[in-house]
Amino acid sequence: MIEIKNVTKIYPLGKKKALDNVSFEIPEGIFGLIGRNGAGKTTIMRIIATVMDQTGGSIYFDGKELKANRAEFRKSLGYLPQSTKLMPRLNIVEFLDYVCIMKGIKDKKVRKAKIADAIETVGLVGEERKRLGNYSGGMLRRAGIAQAIIDEPRVLIIDEPTTGLDPEERLYFLNLLSKISVGRTIIFSTHITADIENLCRNICILEQGQVKYVGDKGEFIDSIKGKLWEHSGTPEDEAMLRRDAIVTSVAYVDGVAKVRYVADGQLTDSIAVEPTLEDAYIHALGGVKR
């Protein structure tokens, strides 16, 4: 269990607080950190990963303060940063061997077994001879996971791993995370709610450095249950609904505006619809932008 208490971050050159008194708890399982660009996702992840210090507040891992027990915590931690440039001239075996050595695994046989295991887990068997520089985006992401799990960490921190993946690779990757989540904590950040719709039980929504919601995903979605409507109409209808309700999505199909909106009762001829995580998320952020 990881506890984040009143964490604030001000970057030396930053004008505003990147994190502003953020508090939440991360239980075992996959934990989804959602927020749009600049919300503070990478900032909090780097602090939990001990690669950067917070300006104020504390983080506890199983009740122990993180900063004071860094070396110990690092042993239980795997981190996949948002932009990873793995060593392009190495192949996956050479790269993972290097990672193992950096982690202090001295026994060559142990390293070999761990490497084979990790390559198998992430589905890169048969790709061992290719240089990482020739890997596709999806393969690189898998190699990144292999390096993060090689020493069987209890906590995995993965920053926006699905960005830029094609649909097939994305699904493969989400399944992989689900597979390796057993008995671990995985902190997963994204701005695509569909990524975590079926993956996480607990979520935290960050917005401009502050926690907008933290807790059970189902409860969050249920907060707009019975209040979500869909109306098909004209651009004028869309303008009216934007004015009088919180609009969670607008899609034009053959010139007809399909508007989903949150209101206590329907405002115009509409049908009641089941909310998705996306609807609840956009609602929490105050509705879709123009």
Ligand X SMILES: Nc1ncnc2c1ncn2[C@@H]1O[C@H](COP(=O)(O)OP(=O)(O)OP(=O)(O)O)[C@@H](O)[C@H]1O
Applying CB under 5 A, the residues found at the interface with Mg ion are 41-42, 82
Q: Does 11 bind ligand X (CB under 6 A)?
A: yes
Longest dimension (CA), the chain: 70
Taking the complex as a whole, the smallest distance from the CB of residue 234 to ligand X amounts, in Å, to 35
C-beta closer to Mg ion: residue 45 or 92: 45
Pick the binder of ligand X from 2, 7, 26, 39 (CB under 6 A).
39
**Least distance to Mg ion from the beta carbon of 159, Å?**
6
> Which residues from 136-155 bind ligand X, rule CB under 6 A?
none
Place of tokens 């999505």: 249
Q: Is 103 left (phi over 0), alpha (psi -120 to 50) or beta?
A: alpha
- Could you tell me the smallest distance in angstroms from the CB atom of residue 41 to Mg ion? 5
Among 30, 31, 34, 40, binds ligand X (CB under 6 A): 40
Q: What are phi and psi of 6, to 5 degrees?
A: 50, 45
* Nearest CB to ligand X, comparing residues 37 and 63: 37
Does residue 215 bind ligand X (CB under 6 A)?
no
What is the C-alpha to C-alpha distance for residues 189 and 279, in angstroms, rounded to an integer? 18
Round the CA-based radius of gyration of the chain to a whole number and report it: 22
Q: Is 153 exposed, middle or buried (0-12, 13-18, 19+ CB in 10 A)?
A: buried
Q: Is 43 in the site for ligand X (CB under 6 A)?
A: yes
Q: Which is nearer to ligand X, 100 or 204 (CB)?
A: 204
Which of ligand X, Mg ion, none sits in contact with 18, Cβ below 5 to 8 A by type?
ligand X
Q: Scan residues 188-207 and list those touching ligand X (CB under 6 A).
A: 191
- Strand-pair category, 56-61 with 2-9: antiparallel
Contacts of 25 (CB under 8 A, 6+ apart): 1, 2, 3, 4, 214
Write down the least CB distance from residue 13 to ligand X, Å: 5
Pattern 86-115, binding to ligand X, x per CB under 6 A? ------------------------------
CA angle, residues 55, 59, 62, in degrees to nearest 5? 165
Q: Which of 227, 232, 233 is nearest to 246 (CA)?
A: 227
| One residue of 29, 38, 57, 123 binding ligand X per CB under 6 A | 38
Whole-angstrom distance, CA of residue 169 vs CA of residue 174: 9
Tell me how far, at minimum, the Cβ of 40 lies from ligand X, in Å. 4
Binding site for ligand X (CB under 6 A): 11, 13-14, 18, 35, 37-43, 82, 191
